[in-house]
Amino acid sequence: MTFRAAMPARRLRRWIPAVLASTMFASAPLLAGAQTCATLTLTLAYGSTDVQTEGQVSMLQEFLGIVPATGYFGPITHAAVVVWQTGHGISPIGIVGPLTRASMRCADAAFAPQASGTSPASIPPPVAPAFMPRSSMRIVSDCALENETPVVTNWSAAAGGFSYLGSDAVQFAPTPIPSDGFHTGVPYYTYGSNFLPATDTYIADTWDSVAVSYSAVRAFTRALCKETGVAVKVLRPDASVANGRVASAPGYVQIVHGIPMFRSMFSVVLPPNWDASAPRGTYPIVAEGFYHTNWLVGAPGASGSDPLLAGLVADSGTGGKPGAIGIYWNGGGALGSYTINPAARAQFGEIIEYVARTYGGDPDRIAMMGQSRGGITALLMASNPDPHEYRVRYVFAAQPEVKLTALVGIYGSAFPAYYDSADWLTGFANAWTPGWTYPSDIGRPELAGLGLAAAVAKIGTGSSDVSSIDAHYAPIAPKMVRALHDAGTTVFFSHSTNDRFMPDGFALEYLDMLRQYAVPFEVQYDVHAGHGWDIALAKAKMSDAIEDLMAGRQPTVQNGKITYRRADRADGSLTAFLPEDDQPPFSVVAPQSTYTALSSVIYFSGVPGTQYRLQLRNQDTGDITAVSGTIGGTWDSVYRWNPNPGTYRYLSLSIKRPGESVWRYLSLRDTPTSDARRVFTAVTAGSPAAQSGTSLSRLLAANLNPVAGHEGITWGITHTTPSVPEGSVDFRLTAVYADKRGVQRELILSNENPSQRVDVDLNAREYSWGLEAVGADYTQPFSCIETQPNGTELDCSDKLWINGRDINERLQIGTYTFRFTYGGATYTRSVAINVPLVRTGSAPMIDSLSPRFGSSGSSVVIRGSNFTSAGNQVWCMSGCTYSPGVIPNAANLPSADGASISYLVPIASPGPYSIAIKNERGESNTATFVVTQ
């Protein structure tokens, strides 16, 4: 479904039976015979049943007057829900969520929704301060400003613990993992016995475990200065106006770094025009909560996004702008926390109050940003349901893990990154192993005996009730989403498919919650992009929000807008993309490599009500596994898989969208791998060797070969190429090759585009062919024959499953043809390989061929320039009846005047020929001629 305030009637009619489409928009009263109220507690959607919902589907049907009540949420129920929603000011999507349930509730305690895109009338807009800070008249651009060093970690090696202004690196002491496996009763510490996270007491809370060298912080400040044109100076946390180390309006950015307060460590970034006399409420605040505070200033492990906050602050105080203050926070603990504990919101509130009191920040004008854990932090601090005395007006959240309880259901080899998380969230390297429980003899009685999920819940929230996380603590918790609405927060949400931490359905359900609670939001939806964020996009959106807050305006979004992009599988670049039917694309995540002892699932996501069918075959045993289901109201569906050892080939995947009668087959090469590899799963008997969760995560993801620049990829497909209706077959050839500049390219040939000529770099050995017959039943007879340019024929059946090269290591010049025969039909795809001989320097220029047409045996004269006295060659590049290369009798041709060459046309069948001319210096150019009978 599209995320719009209201879906146009013409689009809705595709979702509902035609018998209802002509009348449903005239009015929306209760249907005849309906009950007057209903007490529903669950989300109901296309495909829901009474068995799944404890009879609530029948209750809904009775309420809507659907007779008889079948207990199955099908097209008639879907259409009736749309009618109800249309008549009650709720976006008519046909899913019974919190707002729809509230509108049907018997007791009149329903939540009254605002019109989508508005905020409660009681929330005043932000107000520009009466005290207007001066814009810097002088900007210091000397990038060689000296920082205060050493940069603090607030840790002392001698004391073995926290020490204000200390700058030592922390020496963790993980328990060695024996080669013969984990031993029963032995605690295998991730960091050491002294470093165990517990509720509200996380590793590296008021200190940082990562030290920053003098050269690293200098490199950070100079790079940021070069980017922004504003000098940057890092100060130690005891710097102040009183001791003369924090300057008023110095013309450069000051970072008061590593402040250990409120059971946290944070830094304050001051704009170049910051005025020491500015009262509370002068400057808007831009905040980010992530992991290590020292990442802000160039510590090892920092990413390209970490300087973003300081760059935004630098820009805010230049060019006549009044400036904003930045806060970079470790979320109450760099390790062992997702910042979902309620105490974190109190800590953040105290930090905001400190910045308002000390530096003139405005608690009513806050914008937050973050990716992954930073996105969680931004959304939860903005929700602020308690509430504390601050208001977040705008959030940019990229790939936040919005649901946490639900991760229990998919934990395992399909999302191997969570094995890594188990290490640092519990503090034990063997926490990933099946059946693990928290040790009972290490002085943590509140955690003793808890399994992995319960221990993580207890450490993260204070409650070991796993089911309570999504209900009360995670961003998707109803009270959190409602609090966003009540605060008047606008949200820009950046989401990517194939994200190793953020299952696609989780994000889609969260966006649906935002819509139902009338929280204004806009979405950037990137396909195949994995767990990362677009820093340029974040910078642009946050800059706009800061501009609004500085002017006393509420930052806005294009409410409900969703923009799609697709990551190029070769270089990671993002380009505009429109999915079929303008809906979030169907997606599947599966293990690429797993063990029989590990938990394995196949995770499906897409529009609620979408039915799916998947066939897999174990190549070792021949056994076929058939998986089918329906995407529910949570926008996903999970198949719990207990595979036998072997390599599983995925034979076919088909879907049927809500309201459609036709099954459509999807490509199983719509993977995020740079060579368009087809989905498969390799299953090994038993358990993996004893190792940390971090090591296991890397092992299971080692062969993903993700798009360039993206590590956070899951294995599976996201529907990007055209689907094929049941009963049809589209034979597709995917060619991966290097172009004439050596840049990797991808070519897909299909029914609509059966042949193409490409220019390649023959020196590049990295190329592959991948074939797929979308819509074919591979259990039925078929054949595949490849014909190479030299006439050699090969069986290409294996290329239907794995990407392959031919027996020659390099591509040949000429045409490759692939013929797939199935069901009495033959499908042909051909690729003509050309070697572009690009003119360089004094390369020969072909001005003319005389004659342009001639029979075999004719003498042809090439006229031009820059020919050499000997050693000129005429090449046939394509259209040749022999292996492409130097034309017979046309090698080492002399040119007396450097301007003409004659040669005899070889015996050949009629047709156009592409030729090239090379002189003895190897310089070249091309032309075309035609041979006639």
Q: How confident is the model at residue 6 (pLDDT cuts 50, 70, 90)?
A: very low
Q: How confident is the model at residue 837 (pLDDT cuts 50, 70, 90)?
A: very low
Identify the top-confidence range among 187-196, 295-304, 709-718, 759-768: 187-196
Q: Are 78 and 46 in contact (CB under 8 A)?
A: yes
What is the greatest pairwise CA distance in the chain? 102
CA 454 to chain centre: 28
CA 571 to chain centre: 15
pLDDT in tens, 133-171: 665 567 888 899 999 999 999 999 999 999 999 999 999
φ, ψ at 469 (rounded to 5°): -65, -55
Q: Does the structure show a pLDDT above 60 at 897?
A: yes
- Tell me what pLDDT residue 922 has: 56
Closest Cα to residue 404, out of 333, 496, 503, 498?
A: 503
Average pLDDT over residues 60-69: 82
Q: Is 831 helix (H, G, I), strand (E, B) or coil?
A: strand
Q: How confident is the model at residue 125 (pLDDT cuts 50, 70, 90)?
A: confident
Cβ-proximal residues to 188 (8 Å cutoff; 6+ apart), any chain: 174, 175, 177, 182, 428, 429, 430, 692
DSSP character at residue 355: H
Average pLDDT over residues 637-643: 95
Q: How confident is the model at residue 843 (pLDDT cuts 50, 70, 90)?
A: low
- Tell me what pLDDT residue 921 has: 59
- Tell me what pLDDT residue 765 has: 61
pLDDT in tens, 304-335: 667 899 999 999 999 889 999 999 999 999 99
- Tell me what pLDDT residue 887 has: 67
- Tell me what pLDDT residue 752 has: 94
CA 417 to chain centre: 14
- Mean predicted lDDT score pLDDT of the chain: 84
Average pLDDT over residues 700-708: 61
What is the spatial distance between Cα 316 and Cα 228, in angstroms, rounded to a whole number? Answer: 11
From residue 344, alpha-carbon distances to 64, 334, 340, 387 in Å are 44, 12, 7, 12
Closest Cα to residue 917, out of 903, 907, 931?
A: 903
What is the spatial distance between Cα 248 and Cα 240, in angstroms, rounded to a whole number? Answer: 10
- Both ends of the chain: CA-CA distance in Å? 60
Q: Is 93 helix (H, G, I), strand (E, B) or coil?
A: coil
Q: How confident is the model at residue 34 (pLDDT cuts 50, 70, 90)?
A: very low
- Tell me what pLDDT residue 162 has: 96
Cβ-proximal residues to 512 (8 Å cutoff; 6+ apart), any chain: 3, 93, 95, 97, 635
Average pLDDT over residues 798-804: 83
Is 0.85 topped by the overall pTM? no
Q: How confident is the model at residue 28 (pLDDT cuts 50, 70, 90)?
A: very low
- Judged by phi (left if over 0) then psi (alpha if -120 to 50, else beta), residue 203 lies in beta
- Tell me what pLDDT residue 304 has: 61
Domains of the chain: 9-104 (1.10.101.10), 146-171+202-365 (no CATH), 727-834 (2.60.40), 845-932 (2.60.40.10)
- Tell me what pLDDT residue 582 has: 85
Q: Are 616 and 592 in contact (CB under 8 A)?
A: no
Q: Name the amino acid, one letter, at 92.
A: P
Q: How many CB atoms lie within 10 A of CB 198?
A: 15
Average pLDDT over residues 121-127: 69
Average pLDDT over residues 187-193: 96
- Tell me what pLDDT residue 749 has: 95
DSSP character at residue 264: E
What is the spatial distance between Cα 148 and Cα 901, in angstroms, rounded to a whole number? Answer: 73
- Percent of the chain scored above 90 by pLDDT? 59
Q: Are 197 and 270 in contact (CB under 8 A)?
A: no
DSSP string, 682-724: EEESS-PPS--HHHHHHHHTTT--BSTT---B-SEEE--SPPE
What is the spatial distance between Cα 207 and Cα 152, in angstroms, rounded to a whole number? Answer: 8
> What stretch of H or E contains 455?
helix 452-461
Q: How confident is the model at residue 119 (pLDDT cuts 50, 70, 90)?
A: very low
- Tell me what pLDDT residue 700 has: 86
pLDDT in tens, 537-591: 999 999 999 999 999 999 999 999 999 999 887 777 888 999 998 889 999 999 9
Q: Where are the alpha helices (DSSP H) in 15-150?
A: 18-21, 50-53, 56-64, 75-87, 98-104
Residue whose structure tokens are 């949570």: 634
- The burial of 419, by beta-carbon neighbours within 10 Å (0-12 exposed, 13-18 middle, 19 or more buried), is given as buried
Q: Does the structure show a pLDDT above 90 at 271?
A: yes
DSSP string, 655-674: EE-TT----EE--TT--SBT
Q: Which of 331-340, 422-431, 843-852, 907-916 has the lowest mean pLDDT?
A: 907-916
3-state secondary structure 890-911: CCCECCCCCCEEEEECCCCCCE
Q: How confident is the model at residue 933 (pLDDT cuts 50, 70, 90)?
A: very low
Q: Name the amino acid, one letter, at 801.
A: W
- Judged by phi (left if over 0) then psi (alpha if -120 to 50, else beta), residue 686 lies in left
Residues in the chain: 933
Q: Which of 304-308, 492-496, 820-824 has the lowest mean pLDDT?
A: 304-308
